[in-house]
Structure 1
Amino acid sequence: MKKTIIITVILFIAVIAATIYLFGDFNKNNKQDSKALQYLPENTLAIASFTNDQTVDTIFNDYELFKAIIGQQNFSHLKRLKEDLLQNDQLAPLVDGQQILLSFHQEKEQITPLYSVQVGQSLDDKTLATLLGNVGKNYKIQPFDTLGHRFYGLNQGTKDSTLYCSYFHEIIFASYSKKVLAQIFDKNVKKINTKQIEFFVNHNNKNTPLSLYFFNEQLSQFARILMKSKFGNYLGLIDSLKGQTSWNMNFKKDAFIFKGETALTDSKNSYLQLFATQTAQVQALGNYLPKNAASYIDFSISDPHSFRSGLKALFLQQKEDSRLAKSIKNFEDDSQVSFDSIIAPIFNDEFALAELDNQDAIGLISISDSTQFADNLKKFSTAVGDSIYQFKYSNLLYALFGEPFKSFNRPYFTVVDNIMVIASRTGILRDYRESFREKQFLSGTAIFKNHAALQNSRSNVTFYLEPKAGKSTILNNLKTEFAKNFRDEEEYGFQNFYSWSYQLSGNQGSFSSSLYALYKSDTRLGGKPEWAVQLESRIINKPWIFDQDGKNKFILIQEQDHTVHAFSPDGKELWQNLFQGEILGEPIQLQDLSIIAVTKNRLYRFMPDGKNMTGFSVELPSKATYGATLANFNKEQRIYIPATDRILAYTLAGKKVEGFENNSVDGRIIFDLKTTTLGQTNYIIAGTSTASVYFFDQNGKIIHKKTLDTDGESVKNPIGLMAASDEKNSFIYLADNKGSIFKVPFEGDAKKIKLGDWSRDAFFNFEDISGGADRDFVILSKNKLNAYSARDSSSYFEYKFYRRCQQQTLVF
């Protein structure tokens, strides 16, 4: 799986698009059907078509994407060649407004271009020789004959600088390779057939800068030229794909966008053809990928029955059916459960395969029926601990979904939010669960958001790659020459392409297809910073803004090695200190401008200049699970810290307040502690994972405890506090995992309020969003955002996102 189809697409489109500006222009109102197609060899890798017109200079002038791909020096050389030849006074009148084809051909271990330029009138050999002789003083013309045709060599006087030309049927053919040019006239070389030419011509959009054609079966051959080793799972999917593709370019200053049609011919043995009869679906699994995902391929189906029928026919053709039937029979004999009628419907219509930046692989499968899944879980898997399971039987996922899961024989898996995540090792899944718990998703990055806005939201197959994250994999698999160019950031700009994607959507047996490449931009989200600082490792917390001296602000951040940095608003580093652990929750700034921060093992209080106050830092006797809460009881400020199943208390001088940690709670205290004073009583309130609410007094003594009925399920969201003037009208709010809120009074019985249905991964918060005196319920579940009044449970609004959203912290 360490080979990515997008690597092929990147360099494939790169080489083609890079030459457009140099050798052709376009006229959207005067495209012609090309005659040159019938002379091109059948094994042509790809063809770009455009019209020679001066208009291109105003559109593609200084088009940075081309320079990034072919290199600054090559761009300058080819631009001069264009000016000397196509724009020469002698040749320009004959080729202005005419059709140009730029085709690419394999020659040993390299790719060689061939130019086919239609001429506006017939020319004899004498006229052509005279014409070429007057093209320019920088070239030496060398005529010679081969295959019964007159060839001309245009030599600039340096090694490998000769451009070979020949004229045939009102077309000038030119290449830097005599061998490639000779294929045009060699009758023993099979040419492109009539049906392929008709497909290309019929899909040639006259309102686009260029059209791009390629033969699907040549994609794998193109990849073999670029890569130094065998295909992995990604590229293996295209190895048997036949037919042809026609794309048209949508011009965008900071992105490559190609859209068009992909026809399938003799592709019955191809896995991808199973999706040609499906219809495009909204794909959501990309939103569940961890932040360190380098590439993925997402599949979605609209008709599971036809997909599974087609998959079984494919297994039969590939002679895999008997092996898979044996695995299924073993399962059915042991479990007495039908694989097709019980197990298959458990899973939904979307599945994905991803490669991480460390080259580990994970798979994701959407679960459609969580109840059926839970009922049958033990029949096909065994628990191995930490919410991780392993399949008892081999090849079950391969039988269900085909080629993407062929390498997962008896994988391990875990389940999050009705998504099965699979891997070959338990450690990969533990890392994933940690990323999921911390909401460290690829979809939360600026690159992914910008790319999602660029590409189609509906598809059947989506390939996605971030070259920076997958850099080591790309370099390891490219041959030395291509790897050198990819690495060279001064001459080339491959590193400035942030992301690539390739999409296929079923279209009654063929595909609507498209390619997107996002280039660096100053106008996009996260595009151009006011200033930037290079740190040693990644930032693990959001930036915090604090007062520096009552007039000025400063920015506080912490990186992965737990170093804390302070920056001025203009990016100047003020100081840095190494903390013992990650800062939990939110640091608190006091009136004297000192800042209180908590890590798992220590309590800090420091000034804006980074210096610890006397008595700090303080070692904690128990591990903290969230940040501190500051309360002022009886004119004395105290610091309260949740520490798993107990509360720690300290004075502002860092002295421990005895007694609190002796009163443990059941379960784990979730998020922060709440404090309030009602009447003569000072309250400290803690909510636990076991759905209990504890009311302590200021000395750590339990006043009372409320245990709520959540059907045995733990809870994971913060509690909310609505404090009035007395206990009777003050409440704690706690959300379960099924759409209900518990309203817990300081005195009396709790009340359960049903608001709706939401997923177990739903996020609940209690904030004022209506501008009134009361706070409100805010629930984010899957792709829905809801807000309700805490007073009467009425709905303020509901918003449905196209894509699944994650819990985010907004920083302004």
Structure 2
Amino acid sequence: MRKIIILVSVLLLGVASMSYLYFSKLGIENDAKDLALQSATNNAAILFSFQNDKAFYEIMAGQSLLQQAIGEEKTNLLKQLKESFINKKLINNFVQDQEIYISLLPDTNQTLNFLITVQIRSDQELINFQNKLQSIVKPVVKEKNIYTLQVNDSLNVFLGMQHQVLTVSTSLKLIKNAAIRLNDNPFTAYIKESRLLNKNILAQLYINFNQAPLLLKNIIAGSINGEMALFKTQNSFATLNYNFSKEKILFNGNTEIKSADNYLKLFEQIPVQSINIQNIIPDRTASYTIYAYDNYQSWQQKLARWQTLKNLTDKRNVLIKKVKTEYRTDLNAIFPLYLKNQFITFQLNTGEKLAAISLINGEKVKQLLFDVSEDYSEEIKHFKTADILFTYLGEPFKNFVKPYYVIIDNQFVIANNASTVQSFLNSYKNNKLLIQEPAYLDALNQLPNTSNIGFYINLKNAKNIFRSQLLLKYYQHLQADSGWKEFDSFYYQMSADQNKFITNMLLNKYIKPNPSDSASTR
């Protein structure tokens, strides 16, 4: 019996050892296959990937809107690189059918630049590839495994060749940075996991919001604050599949929020909602963010957990007690009962910021808030106590400390200045609303009418805001005929789906109907 036990133990040990060796070897092989991805994701906030095959290039040739969004300069650069690499059989033989990554990265002198990364086919040797290139490249002095290639009379590019990976860029800095591969890069791990679920996709866009600050520093004038401040701590990623179309630029996929204390986590695992609060905002709106949940009482439990993570629980309890003591007003008998299922923060083209909250019974809320408010005018009121709305709705109301407000048609509209509230009332009463604009309606018609979170920019109304925030060359691209001038709407829509958000990202260009077309159909 003892001999049998020893024999079985030896056999089990042998199987375990062989399994370990097999899976270790498999892991090493998988890591080798991901060298290009590791290089491409280093410091990248935006990564576009596609398979190097003829079908992709044929389809992309007709995507004029995407080329317009990228800009004439960068489009011409990509075309020239394609002519120099993909169209040359000597080079393309080594990377045929391989995944090509285009990373958008911050470069020197407040510029953004592309890094193109591709892995040489496993059946081709790097040394053989280097030998083939000897006649057309020159080594860079004092730089190991980096070469230059003259694309044309005015364009030289750098090539990095290391461990079966080819990197190409007009920036030496990006080539050198790409040689530093991080095995524990969360962005790399996220993309690898995402690719297992999204096979046979022709082109994908990956976004690493953790790297957004580095990108934004090269685009904006000044520091990252105000509306941009959310990118400082936005630990999240997105995988978006390119929806090939000649009429619009549309990506579909998902967004994953990683940090437990991220405010957007409060909207996970909530049924999508029919959104209508945007119908009240003025036609001068430059941007807005919409939030929607199913039921305030259940959502408030999520908010309470978020407040605990942010160490805000004591502040909340002190405020509620103070208001009850000083003004004989029980806030817990107002907001949990009368807040509906959606709210919105928005900014006008003047830079003025407002917010609106849907109510179940606006007239009742007016009465209940009487003692904690003071009159500015017959319609406009002012909170006497700070942070009431922040306590019951959280992060989006952080900067509305003691706002002025008006309650009209079951909508609770606030701003930090009474004149801003009055400006809203003038637009609302005169029906000067964004929902009346054909370009805005056209954008909404491209997307589902249910979601949980929506971020919208009216590119024409935001013109003056962009002028004050962006560096001149990026603002000029937004206003150029060959750039974003003809685009009118950007929308990033998120709908909860368990632990992630189904996402639609739209850059829309409204084309006015031709009157002669409608006349001919009569």
Is 1:151 paired with 2:146?
yes
Deviations 1:650-697 (A, max 9, x none): xxxxxxxxxxxxxxxxxxxxxxxxxxxxxxxxxxxxxxxxxxxxxxxx
Q: 2:492 corresponds to which residue?
A: 502
In structure 2, relative to structure 1, the CA distance for the partners of 1:73 and 1:482 (3 Å cut) is closer
Q: Which residue of 2 aligns with 1:481?
A: 473
Aligned positions of 1:55-66 closer than 5 A: 55-66=55-66
Structure 2 Cα separation of the partners of residues 332 and 142 of structure 1: 77
Deviations 1:740-778 (A, max 9, x none): xxxxxxxxxxxxxxxxxxxxxxxxxxxxxxxxxxxxxxx
| Residue in structure 2 matched with residue 332 of structure 1 by the alignment | 324
Equivalent residue in structure 2 for 1:458, among 447, 450, 454? 450
Q: Which runs of 5+ in 1 are unaligned?
A: 1-32, 135-139, 532-568, 570-811
1:399-422 Cα offsets, whole Å, 9 max, x none, are 111121112122111122111111
Greater radius of gyration (CA): 1
* Pair 1:260 & 2:253 matched: yes
- The correspondence of residues 8-157 of structure 1 with structure 2, limited to 5 A, is 36-40=36-40, 42-108=42-108, 109-124=110-125, 127-133=128-134, 141-144=137-140, 150-156=145-151
State the percentage of identical aligned residues.
21
2:433 corresponds to 1:441: yes
Shift of 1:214: 2.0
Bigger proportion of residues as strand = 1
CA distances 1:707-763 after superposition (whole Å, capped 9, x unpaired): xxxxxxxxxxxxxxxxxxxxxxxxxxxxxxxxxxxxxxxxxxxxxxxxxxxxxxxxx
Q: Would you say 1:247 and 2:247 are equivalent positions?
A: no
CA contact (8 A) 1:248 1:258 kept: yes
1:228 to 221, 234, 238: 221
**CA distance 1:185–1:60, change in 2 (3 Å):** closer
CA contact (8 A) 1:347 1:366 kept: yes
Residue 537 of structure 1: aligned partner: none
> What's the CA shift for 1:290?
1.1
Query: How many residue pairs get matched?
Result: 486
Equivalent residue, structure 1, for 2:20: none
Q: When the two structures are superposed, what TM-score results if normalisation uses the length of structure 2?
A: 0.85
State the distance in 2 between where 1:50 and 1:143 align. 29
Q: 1:341-740 maps to which residues of 2 (within 5 A)?
A: 341-370=333-362, 372-489=364-481, 492-521=482-511, 526-528=512-514
Equivalent residue, structure 2, for 1:565: none
Change (3 A) 1:58 1:129: closer
Provide the C-alpha distance between the structure 1 equivalents of 2:209 and 2:483, rounded to a whole number of angstroms.
27
In the TM superposition, what whole-angstrom CA distance separates every residue of 1:460-483 from its partner, at most 9, and x where no partner exists? 111111111110001110022212
Q: Contact 2:41–2:188 at 8 Å: present in 1 too?
A: no
State the superposition RMSD in angstroms: 2.9
Seen in structure 2, the aligned counterparts of structure 1 residues 113 and 283 have a Cα distance that, compared at 3 Å, is same
Following TM superposition, by how much is the alpha carbon of 1:429 offset from its aligned partner in structure 2, in angstroms? 2.3
Whole-Å separation in 1 of the counterparts to 2:158 and 2:222: 33
Residue 37 of structure 1, CA deviation = 1.5
**Offset, 1:117:** 2.0
Report the Cα distance in structure 2 between the residues aligned to 1:278 and 1:255, rounded to whole angstroms: 29
Per-residue deviation, 1:61: 2.0
2:283 and 2:434 in contact (8 A); partners too: yes
Aligned to 1:171: 165
The reply to whether residue 275 of structure 1 matches residue 267 of structure 2 is yes
CA distance in 2 between partners of 1:410 and 1:122 (Å): 67
Letter in 2 for 1:114: L
1:435 deviates by 1.9
2:305 is aligned with 1:309: no
Q: CA separation of 1:93/1:471 partners in 2, compared to 1, >3 Å: closer, same or farther?
A: same
5+ residue gaps, structure 2: 1-32
When residues 97 and 189 of structure 1 are mapped into structure 2, their CA distance, relative to the original with a 3 A threshold, is closer
The CA distance in 2 between the partners of 1:320 and 1:230, in whole Å, is 27
Compared CA separation, residues 432 and 530, structure 1 to 2 (3 A): farther
Aligned amino acid, residue 245 of structure 2 = K
Instruction: Report SS of the residue matched to 2:251.
Output: strand
Decide whether aligned partners of structure 1 residues 152 and 518 sit closer, same or farther in structure 2, where only a CA change above 3 A counts. same
Matched letter for residue 496 of structure 1: E
Cα separation, partners in 2 of 1:193 and 1:510, compared to 1, 3 Å: closer
Residue type of the partner of 1:467? L
- What residue identity is the alignment partner of 1:494? W
**Counterpart for residue 190 of structure 2:** 196
Change (3 A) 1:409 1:243: closer
The structure in which a higher percent of residues are helix is 2
Q: Distance in 1 between matches of 2:504 and 2:37?
A: 23
Q: Match of 1:496, SS?
A: coil
**Which whole-Å CA distance do the structure 2 matches of 1:357 and 1:256 have between them?**
24
Change (3 A) 1:475 1:204: farther
Q: Which moved more, 1:507-516 or 1:355-364?
A: 507-516
Q: For residue 156 of structure 2, what is the aligned residue in structure 1?
A: 162
State the shift of 1:94 in Å. 3.1
Give the equivalent residue in structure 1 for 2:15: none
Matched, 1:318 2:318: no
Shift of 1:453: 0.5
> Given the superposition, is the C-alpha separation of residues 215 and 75 from structure 1 closer, same or farther in structure 2, using an over 3 Å criterion?
closer
Residues 39, 181 of structure 2: 8 Å contact kept: no
CA distance in 1, matches of 2:472, 2:453: 31
How far residue 233 of structure 1 moved from its aligned partner, in angstroms, is 4.5
The structure-2 alpha-carbon separation of the partners of 1:352 and 1:123, relative to structure 1 and needing over 3 Å to count, comes to: same
Alignment partners' CA distance in 2, 1:447 and 1:193: 36
CA change 1:239–1:126 in 2 (3 A) is closer
How far, CA to CA, are the matches of 1:340 and 1:272 in structure 2?
Answer: 23
Q: Deviations over 1:416-443 (max 9, x none)?
A: 2111111222222223222222222100
d(CA) in 1 for partners of 2:349, 2:181: 49
Task: Classify the secondary structure of the residue corresponding to 1:327.
Answer: helix
Structure 1's 250 and 41: CA in aligned 2 closer, same or farther, altered over 3 A? closer
Counterparts of 2:123 and 2:81, CA distance in 1: 24
Confirm or deny: 8 A CA contact 1:290 1:435 kept in the other structure: yes
Letter in 2 for 1:105: L
How far 1:150 sits from its partner (Å)? 2.7
Q: For residues 416 and 390 of structure 1, do their structure 2 counterparts lie closer, same or farther at Cα, with a shift above 3 Å needed?
A: same
Deviates further, 184-193 or 34-43: 184-193
Residues 129, 43 of structure 1: alpha-carbon distance in 2 compared, 3 angstrom cutoff: closer
Q: TM-score, normalised by structure 1?
A: 0.56
- Contact 2:120–2:126 (CA<8 Å) still a contact in 1? no
Deviations 1:245-293 (A, max 9, x none): 111111121211111122222x123222221232321111111111111
Secondary structure at the counterpart of residue 235 of structure 2: coil
